[in-house]
């Protein structure tokens, strides 16, 4: 596996330090980078503690937005367009609550259909990660050790004074991209290297002993799931079906990726650093044992996408056109990761920001036309 200093360059394959949207030790969220500098603009108003209820239509044109704030129904009217940016879970739910989606499903919610668009909520994809853990020897300086005792105090001071150390580091400071099959043109798996270990994702309580976690992550999934409103109540969570390992090829790729990670850790250059494999453990050897482990630990990498996907004219499954407009309607766009035709082969934060940048350009161009 070659060293790669720039995963976003001409070649993605290789191993290297993670590239992040951070500045001076802080995560540069969209609120920090975009909203905060614009807060004083007279044409911007932010309503908080508000839940979207539905888009308002006059015929097939979106003309506004109804929302619930502090128990009261309120409306905002649109001079030009309504933009939905609810994410891969929230956007299809809001469209269905507004009467846009599969007409039969919308009727089952007790909502009058506005526009039949069967692709809404279908096609959901999310990177799946299968975490493997090793206990290390000695005191190599993993996160497990650095967040305890005097070492933790030192890390806190290091961050306060210089914005460096563990508190300024990404969760996975090293990443690698590789192909499970040589005939593939580009990588289909990302390995996330976390310099620590924990028992479960809910509390992520780090172990007292040093350890490392390798998370092989499927990038080019075949399987697709769905997300749909299950009630006309906007406060009710949608029904999310991730369809993890929904095809034989996805399952095979997951096993091949985990076998590769074990192979990496058992190379002579690595053997001196670790004590033993904690999970899945060397007792897992056969294909069926690997498959069972994949089904047991496979989980979301928090990159949901493609539930309102773009597509060309004639694509019956497409929800949006290539300008992010909802097909068959006027004055309505969806701008978030749900627009991706398929989930990108890497982390989704920066690509989603790019989608929003492009959408802003498209809207400005239309306004000037």
Give the residue numbers marked as catalytic: 303
Structure tokens that stand for 30 in this block: 């969209």
Q: Measuring CA to CA, which residue among 262, 194, 243, 249 is closest to residue 220? A: 249
How far out from the chain centre does Cα 275 lie? 33
Structure tokens that stand for 302 in this block: 């928090």
Give the contacts of 194 (CB within 8 A, at least 6 positions apart). Answer: 143, 171, 172, 212, 213, 214, 215
Distance CA 170, CA 159 (A): 13
Give the contacts of 161 (CB within 8 A, at least 6 positions apart). Answer: none
How far out from the chain centre does Cα 162 lie? 30
For residue 24, give the DSSP letter.
T
For residue 287, give the DSSP letter.
H
Scored b (16 or more CB within 10 A) or e, 114-132 reads bbebebbbbbbbbbbbbbb
Give the contacts of 223 (CB within 8 A, at least 6 positions apart). Answer: 125, 243, 244, 245, 246, 247, 250
Query: Can you say whether the dihedral through the CA atoms of 91, 96, 100, 105 is positive or negative?
Result: positive
Cross-strand bridge partners of residue 198? 206
Separation in Å, CA 148 to CA 138, 158, 193, 210: 16, 14, 21, 12
Distance CA 328, CA 320 (A): 9
Helix, strand, or coil here: 171?
A: coil
Yes or no: say if 194 and 172 are a contact pair by the CB < 8 Å rule: yes
Structure tokens that stand for 335 in this block: 């701008």
How far out from the chain centre does Cα 81 lie? 26
Distance CA 185, CA 182 (A): 8
């Amino acid at each position: 596996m070659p060293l790669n200093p720039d995963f976003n360059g001409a070649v993605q394959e290789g191993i290297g330090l993670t590239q992040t949207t951070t500045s001076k030790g802080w995560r540069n969220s969209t609120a920090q980078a975009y909203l905060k500098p614009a807060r004083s603009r007279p044409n911007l108003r932010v309503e908080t503690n508000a839940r979207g209820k539905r888009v308002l239509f006059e015929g097939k044109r979106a003309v506004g937005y109804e929302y619930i704030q502090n128990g009261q129904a309120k409306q905002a009217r649109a001079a030009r367009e309504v933009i939905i940016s609810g994410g891969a879970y929230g956007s299809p739910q809001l469209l269905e609550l507004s009467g846009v989606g599969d007409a039969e499903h919308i009727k089952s919610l007790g909502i009058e259909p506005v526009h039949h668009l069967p692709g809404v909520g279908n096609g959901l994809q999310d990177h799946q990660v299968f975490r493997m853990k090793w206990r290390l020897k000695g005191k190599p300086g993993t996160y497990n050790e650095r967040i305890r005792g005097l070492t933790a105090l030192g890390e806190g001071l290091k961050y306060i004074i210089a914005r460096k150390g563990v508190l300024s580091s990404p969760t996975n400071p090293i990443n690698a991209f590789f192909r499970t099959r040589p005939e593939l043109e580009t990588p289909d798996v990302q390995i996330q290297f976390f310099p620590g270990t924990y028992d479960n994702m809910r509390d992520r309580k780090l172990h007292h002993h040093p350890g490392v976690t390798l998370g092989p992550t499927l990038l080019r999934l075949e399987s697709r799931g769905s997300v749909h409103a299950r009630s006309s109540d906007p406060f009710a969570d949608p029904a999310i079906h991730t369809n993890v390992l929904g095809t034989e090829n996805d399952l095979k790729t997951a096993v091949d990726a985990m076998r590769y990670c074990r192979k990496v850790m058992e190379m002579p250059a690595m053997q001196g650093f670790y004590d033993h494999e904690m999970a899945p453990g060397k007792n897992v050897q056969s294909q069926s044992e690997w498959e069972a482990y994949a089904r047991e630990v496979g989980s979301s990498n928090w990159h949901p996408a493609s539930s309102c996907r773009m597509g060309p004219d004639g694509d019956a499954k497409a929800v949006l056109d290539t300008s992010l407009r909802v097909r068959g309607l006027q004055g309505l766009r969806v701008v978030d990761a749900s627009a991706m035709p398929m989930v990108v082969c890497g982390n989704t934060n920066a690509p989603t920001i790019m989608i929003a940048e492009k959408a802003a350009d498209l809207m400005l161009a239309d306004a000037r036309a």
